[in-house]
Amino acid sequence: MQQGQLFIDGCWVAASSEQTIAVISPINGSEIARIPAATAADVDRAVAAARRAFDGWAATPVAKRAALLKAIQGELKARAGEIASAISQEMGCPIRFAQTVQAGSPIASFGMYARLLGDFAFEETVGNSKVVREPVGVVAAITPWNYPLHQVAAKVAAALAAGCTVVLKPSEIAPLDALILAEAVAAAGLPPGVFNLLTGTGPVVGEALANHPDVDMLSFTGSTRAGQRVSELAAATVKRVALELGGKSAAVVLDDADFAVAIPAVVANCYQNAGQTCTAQTRLLVPESRYSEVAERAVAAAAKFIPADPRLDSTRLGPLASAAQAERVRDYIRVGIAEGAELLTGGVDAPEGLAPELLASGAYVRPTIFGRVRPNSRIAQEEIFGPVLAILTYPDGDEAAAIRLANATPYGLAGGVWAGSDERAEAVARKLRCGQVEINGGPFNLYAPFGGYKQSGNGRELGKYGLEDFLEYKAMQFRPPAKD
């Protein structure tokens, strides 16, 4: 894998600075790679390459763009095992999850956009107007470390399908999968400058992209605080900004739900990817009279998530992505205890059963559940981004109270509703202020729009909705035919 250079204008090139960034595996604290720390000068080079390539790529026939996306998918599929291994090492997720989701999802995304181009209407007639959809231009994509290649593909595949050129800055915590993508792009034959990759930090590379005058659109996924910062910078040039930010999703369990199915499913949802999922249902809302039963079922479900070496096929819960993230989560567990929530399982102590070398230098945290959580407490309001579940109660039979509780955070990314029928669950789901709702455990759908309300961001990714985010509308008015 190419590790020591940047990918600009179709070539691997040296960064303008000799500074590098260590990539540290959270499995055992070892250094697994070093990447260039790009500078503002490198941003200028990459953006200039994307600008030069834009007219040609925008004019490329849709069928050819689709074929190139399909070719990239093929290259990624051939290296799926390598991608899964790289992601597991760089951010710690269990290898089986890396194989099925972390590698499988981006491969599917490139294929999806290749297929969507075959049916997508780039122009239509409205009265005496021809309305055309055109690529927005040069896109800067800034992506996070939790689902590193999935988030890259959601942006890059859609932008390329739309006819945009791209400058990508992946997270410096988990950049190795993006290097594999750059190699796949080159092998697939994408024209020079259409896709460019810069490794580096947010304050240097990210901010230079956000305020660059030749970047037409910024697509960012990360924390709400970082999203606010890049939005402020992007405002100076009035570029389009798409934000996919934090979440504090609620799972609303109604009184007629199958609790034996719902409660373990919510725990599994919360702990997936060690809780480092922006849509994780980290608030479990249940009727007051069922609290004791729920607490017992949740603790039993949590016992199946044992922190372990993610390189083992049997592991369901690996380390967090970094030592800093692990300490942040432990700090929130301390906050929950100080706030008076009932600690049902887990806590700040080191996990048991880990090998000494993993325990000494890895970023492992006990899966934790708090009960009797107050709605206005920090652990009920703030995104923890770790394996921590908060159980809150609402008055028996009061759906309106459950809905108010679910909506009572600054976020609105996702949620879930469990009920005795899909129809009853849907009626509640329609009143939740969030972008996605799982009905009785309905699975994720790549073709559905992904994004949030309120401080969870704006814009949508995936499916045709993600493609539309990278397009501008142009209306051309024609004179109506003369009447006889």
Q: What is the pLDDT of residues 421-434, one digit of tens each?
A: 999 999 999 999 99
Tokens of 131: 């309305």
- Residue 206 per-residue DSSP state: I
**Is 270 among the residues known to form the active site?**
no
Tokens of 41: 């000068």
**Is 278 among the residues known to form the active site?**
yes
Q: Which of 75, 90, 244, 461 is catalytic?
A: 244
CB 294 within 8 A of CB 253: yes
338-344: average pLDDT: 98
Tokens of 172: 């410096």
Confidence of residue 482 (pLDDT cuts 50, 70, 90): confident
Quote the CA–CA distance of 83 and 68 in Å, as a whole number: 20
Quote the CA–CA distance of 73 and 79 in Å, as a whole number: 10
Q: Which residue has the tokens 């190699």?
A: 183
164-169: average pLDDT: 98
| Torsion-angle region of 253 (φ positive above 0: left; ψ -120 to 50: alpha; else: beta) | beta
CB 416 within 8 A of CB 266: yes
Q: Which of 93, 164, 270, 278 is catalytic?
A: 278
Q: Which CATH class is domain 6-245+457-474?
A: alpha beta
Fold of 249-445: Aldehyde Dehydrogenase; Chain A, domain 2 (3.40.309)
- Any residues with CB less than 8 A from the CB of 200 and at least 6 apart, and which? 21, 36, 37, 38, 39, 42, 169, 172, 206
Q: Which of 414, 373, 411 is closest to 286 using CA atoms?
A: 373
Q: What is the pLDDT of residues 97-123, one digit of tens each?
A: 999 999 999 999 999 999 999 999 999
Domains of the chain, by residue range, sit at: 6-245+457-474, 249-445
Q: What is the pLDDT of residues 48-78, one digit of tens each?
A: 999 999 999 999 999 999 999 999 999 999 9
The pTM score is 0.96
Q: Angle at CA 474, nearest 5°, toward 472 and 478?
A: 170
CA–centroid distance for 307 within its chain? 23
